[in-house]
Chain A
Amino acid sequence: NAGVTQTPKFQVLKTGQSMTLQCAQDMNHEYMSWYRQDPGMGLRLIHYSVGAGITDQGEVPNGYNVSRSTTEDFPLRLLSAAPSQTSVYFCASSSPGHLTDTQYFGPGTRLTVL
């Protein structure tokens, strides 16, 4: 199993550009989530999904969209990038107990918005 994969590893955007961060898992996990990690702060939830076709907002959803058309993929879209979205982004998945089961994290995407 590849586990949780994320692409790209690094990305530089200009303010106003849009892009999609890709996340995929091959463990047939139902629960998938996106976090951002900023210096001096804990990981913060952006969006999450409990299965294909079901998504919901987390703590910091503004400026981000998600969709879940398949069990495997959970892309995160930045609609119009802003410098405040400079961060490291992690995708995670778990199953079957969702949050009370082992969490598997991707390697992260380091995003810089100029």
Chain B
Amino acid sequence: KNEVEQSPQNLTAQEGEFITINCSYSVGISALHWLQQHPGGGIVSLFMLSSGKKKHGRLIATINIQEKHSSLHITASHPRDSAVYICAVVPLSGYALNFGKGTSLLVTP
């Protein structure tokens, strides 16, 4: 079972700040997902990456397969971005997603 490590575990930022959340994993993967979970809420898929970079609005996700690392960036952060961000990988030999423990983000006005 590969390990998926996210950093930081908790993050507080002021509105407008640029935010970076990191995800590292230890084995070969075919893809990586970034998910968002609001307090008490369901889980929403943000990105699925197998290489390079993707952008959606103020969110940018990058992945370096060789270095086994992905980042999620939020530009011009807003209080509504406050949520838990979860990284999940698809192992090359696996049948299931392996999840990180999540990064809890609080954006204050």
Contact = CB atoms under 8 A, between A and B. Distances in A.
Interface of A: 33, 40-45, 48, 56, 58-59, 90, 92, 99-108
B78 interface: no
Given A99-B97, A100-B50, 9 more contacts: A99-B30, A99-B94, A99-B96, A100-B48, A103-B33, A103-B45, A105-B42, A105-B43, A108-B43
Contact of B97 (A102, A103, A104): A103
B43 A90 contact: yes
Interface of B: 1, 4, 30-31, 33, 35, 41-45, 48, 50, 86, 88, 90, 94-102
Contacts of B4: 42
Contacts of B94: 99
B52 to A, nearest CB: 15
Contacts of A58: 96
Main secondary structure of the interface of B (DSSP, over half): strand
B30 A100 contact: yes
Contacts of A43: 86, 88, 97, 99
B45 A48 contact: no
B31 A42 contact: no
Contacts of B33: 103
28 contacts: A42-B4, A42-B86, A42-B99, A42-B101, A43-B86, A45-B97, A48-B96, A59-B1, A90-B42, A99-B30, A99-B31, A99-B90, A99-B94, A100-B30, A100-B50, A101-B48, A102-B45, A103-B35, A103-B45, A103-B48, A103-B97, A104-B45, A105-B42, A105-B43, A105-B44, A107-B42, A108-B42, A108-B43
